[in-house]
Amino acid sequence: MQAVPIAHHVQQPALASIPSLSGYPAAVLCWLLSAGVYIAAKWVAPEMPPWGLCFWRLTLACAILLPIVHRHHGAMIALLKSRPLEIVAVGAIGLTLCQGLIYHGLAATDATTAGIIMALSPVMTMVLARFVLGEPLGLWKSLGALAALAGMLVIVAHGDLAALLQLQFNPGELWIVGSAFCWALYTVLVRRSKFGIELLPLVVLLLGAGALVALPFHLWEIFNDERSAMNANGLLALAYLAGPGGALMYYLYNRSVETLGASRASMLLYLQTLFVAILAYLLLGESLHDYDLLGAAFIVAGIVLATATKPKAMRNSSGRVRQGR
Tell me, what's the pLDDT at 112? 86
Tell me, what's the pLDDT at 69? 93
State the alpha helices, DSSP H only, in 49-170: 50-65, 73-82, 84-91, 98-106, 111-118, 121-132, 138-156, 161-165
Tell me, what's the pLDDT at 316? 47
User: Which pLDDT tens digits describe the chain residue by residue (325 residues)?
Assistant: 543 434 334 444 433 444 455 678 888 899 899 999 999 999 998 888 899 999 999 999 999 999 999 999 999 999 999 999 999 999 999 999 999 999 999 988 889 888 888 887 877 888 888 888 787 777 777 787 788 778 777 777 777 766 666 656 678 888 999 998 998 898 888 888 888 888 889 999 999 999 999 999 999 988 887 766 667 888 899 999 999 999 999 888 888 877 877 666 666 777 888 888 889 989 999 887 787 888 888 777 877 776 665 555 444 444 444 444 4
Query: Would you give the DSSP letter of residue 97?
Result: I
Tell me, what's the pLDDT at 116? 84
Contact 141, 305 (CB under 8 A): yes
Tell me, what's the pLDDT at 54? 94
> Cα(284)–Cα(46) distance, rounded to whole angstroms?
14
> Cα(116)–Cα(277) distance, rounded to whole angstroms?
8
DSSP per-residue string spanning 44-83 = HTTTS-HHHHHHHHHHHHHHHHGGGGGGGHHHHHHHHHHS
Tell me, what's the pLDDT at 145? 76
Question: Which amino acid would we find at residue 33?
Answer: L
Q: At what angle do helices 23-44 and 249-260 cross, to 10 degrees?
A: 150
Greatest alpha-carbon span in the chain: 70
Tell me, what's the pLDDT at 216? 95
Tell me, what's the pLDDT at 317? 45
> Cα(91)–Cα(86) distance, rounded to whole angstroms?
8
Contact 240, 43 (CB under 8 A): no
